[in-house]
Amino acid sequence: MDSLIDEFIDYLGSEKGLAVNTLESYGRDLKQYQDYLRSDGASIQAVSRAKVIDYLLYLQKQGKATATIARRLAALRAFYQFLVREKRLDHDPTADLESPKLERRLPSVLTVKEVETLLKQPSPNDPAGLRDRAMLELLYATGIRVSELISLDVSNVDLAMQFLRCTGKGSKERIIPVGSIATKAVREYITLGRPKLVPDQNESALFVNHHGKRLTRQGFWKIVKKYAAKARINKDITPHTLRHSFATHLLENGADLRSVQEMLGHADISTTQVYTHLTKGRLKEVYSRAHPRA
């Protein structure tokens, strides 16, 4: 059972080019499924459709979120399709199983004023402050994911031409324009801040921690929480809040959906369309406040 899962994960990495985080997620989901089967005396190869349904009901009884159950089923479906294709099984027990309907949760978004307040918090007088300001400005200017931000090397940013090159989900590369304010913040960090944080001149990472090594996602999250508290922003701020704010503010100011999709690196435009719900809500607010007969 372990070897089948390992083969599948290797296949996703080598043939499909999925990101490391995605591979780890698939691995965790399948190992937990395997543990469930073992506790019930069943094996992956001898599972019926009814057994898969039992597993999904078991997850529901455990109080797992609908999104979590849908993700687990997607992992099982991909896994069994792989086994059938490789002729390890002659049937797919997940065939024709419907995924649970997901509630479309709207992401938390900051107002333009809140963004400006947040971006003013880092101190320009020390290396860490210059780094933090550059990171926050760059996130809001480009809408890249936090994982993409911390993966940037110095060579990925072209300050003269004002663009950056990043690698997103599925190892897909995209080029995104960078605004003048963010460009200035990154230039000041590279010139004045980064040399004081990086003792090793061979370090390629653009953003580093106090040890001079590449900043982690957890490290960035602590930084955001610190500045959100300092700015007294009472919203549910996540590592992706500036990404969501970037997309929403672009659409509110007339950007077309396809362009925003490309900058965000969404494979499917339906993922980007969630931001149109936010902008419609904003239009209703403006209408209610401004129209005499609203």
Q: Which residues are within 8 A (CB) of 30 and not within 5 positions of it... i.e. 6 or more apart?
A: 5, 8, 75, 76, 79
Q: Which residues are within 8 A (CB) of 241 and not within 5 positions of it... i.e. 6 or more apart?
A: 107, 108, 109, 110, 224, 235
Q: Which residues are within 8 A (CB) of 113 and not within 5 positions of it... i.e. 6 or more apart?
A: none
Quick check: is 277 catalytic? no
Q: Sign of the CA dihedral 185, 266, 107, 260?
A: positive
Identified catalytic residue from 51, 213, 217, 240: 240
Identified catalytic residue from 145, 194, 244, 249: 145
Residue 123 near residue 256, CB atoms below 8 Å: no
Structure tokens at 170: 């599925």
Identified catalytic residue from 72, 131, 243, 244: 243
Quick check: is 249 catalytic? no
Identified catalytic residue from 275, 280, 289, 293: 275
Gap between the Cα atoms of 252 and 261, Å rounded: 14
Quick check: is 210 catalytic? no
Identified catalytic residue from 88, 169, 214, 217: 169
Quick check: is 64 catalytic? no
Q: Which amino acid does the sequence have at 171?
A: S
Phi, psi of 113 (to 5 degrees): -65, -40
Quick check: is 55 catalytic? no
Quick check: is 243 catalytic? yes
What positions carry a catalytic annotation? Answer: 145, 169, 240, 243, 266, 275
